[in-house]
Amino acid sequence: MKYQDRIYGSVEIKEPVILELIACPAIQRLKEIDCAGYMRAHFPDIERSRFEHSMGVFLLLRKYNASLEEQIAGLIHDVSHSAFSHCVDYALAAGSQKEQNHQDNVFDAFVRQTEIPV
């Protein structure tokens, strides 16, 4: 698979497990979640999806020869993000305004409900 990244340019991804993860619906849904949350209306030029961010983390780990397990962790680390990204921390009782950790709190349960192997 060829992937075009804003920072790393064109990269080829061949690892079957990574390709399978990228193709799964749980990762693909991140394309629809903006990292900036509600800021997009005010700053339209900062658009960047959670998918792009997750791919960037994966590519950075790969660049520095991290283990495959670490690369996978980087790729899926934001998979539990919901609409409005960290902004949801300010709306949900289960989230934390101080820690902004709602998605971390639900990560394990979210992954177990997806096709991502645990």
* Tens digits of residue pLDDT in 17-52: 999 999 999 999 999 888 766 666 677 776 788 999
What's the CATH number where 76 sits? Answer: 1.10.3210.10
Inside any domain, residue 117: no
User: Domain range for residue 33?
Assistant: 2-112
Residue 58 half-sphere exposure, CB side, CA atoms within 13 Å?
27
Inside any domain, residue 118: no
Whole-structure pTM value: 0.80
Inside any domain, residue 11: yes
Domain total in the chain: 1
pLDDT in tens, 53-105: 999 999 999 999 999 999 999 999 989 877 766 667 667 765 566 667 777 77
Contact 103, 91 (CB under 8 A): no
